[in-house]
Amino acid sequence: MSENTNTTHNGKCPTVASQIATISQPVEIRPFATTGAVTVECFGRPMVEQDARCERRGHCCFTITQRIRVEIPVVFGAEVEVGKDRVECARPRVEFEGEPRRPRDKQDFEDVPEYETP
């Protein structure tokens, strides 16, 4: 059988084509957070405790403690911009049915562009 002849199956010539491609889609995300009006609410009465250590030094010291709740409304979001997609194609290859399928080797990937981080 010559190189230009395929085995036919019921008058058909089955063929498989494949191609490796690198496809990129640039995406830009701009996050944001917006705060609203902050509110503070007191719970219960304040507690006052005297600190005896200060009296030894000739001072009067105390601590005031108050339970509070602070509400901080925050709205989170993001603006998204999608750029134009891009494709970089490698060399296509064709295999004919009936021919032994050759293993993929380094040569199959030689013209596939490397992915680069922007």
Residues 6+ apart with CB under 8 A from 82: 25, 26, 27, 28
Q: What are the extents of the domains in the chain?
A: 1-26+83-118, 30-82
Please list the residues that pair with 92 across neighbouring strands: none
**Distance in Å from the first CA to the final CA of the chain:** 51
**Stated pTM of the model:** 0.45
Report pLDDT digits (tens) over 13-51. 888 888 888 999 999 999 999 999 999 999 999 999 988
Per-residue pLDDT at 109: 54
Residue 41: burial class (beta carbons within 10 Å; 0-12, 13-18, 19+): exposed
| Confidence tier at 1 by pLDDT (50, 70, 90) | very low
Measured in degrees and rounded to the nearest 5, phi and psi for residue 91 equal -65, 130
Report pLDDT digits (tens) over 65-98. 999 999 999 999 999 999 999 988 888 877 776 6
Residues 6+ apart with CB under 8 A from 11: none
CA distance 74 to 18: 51
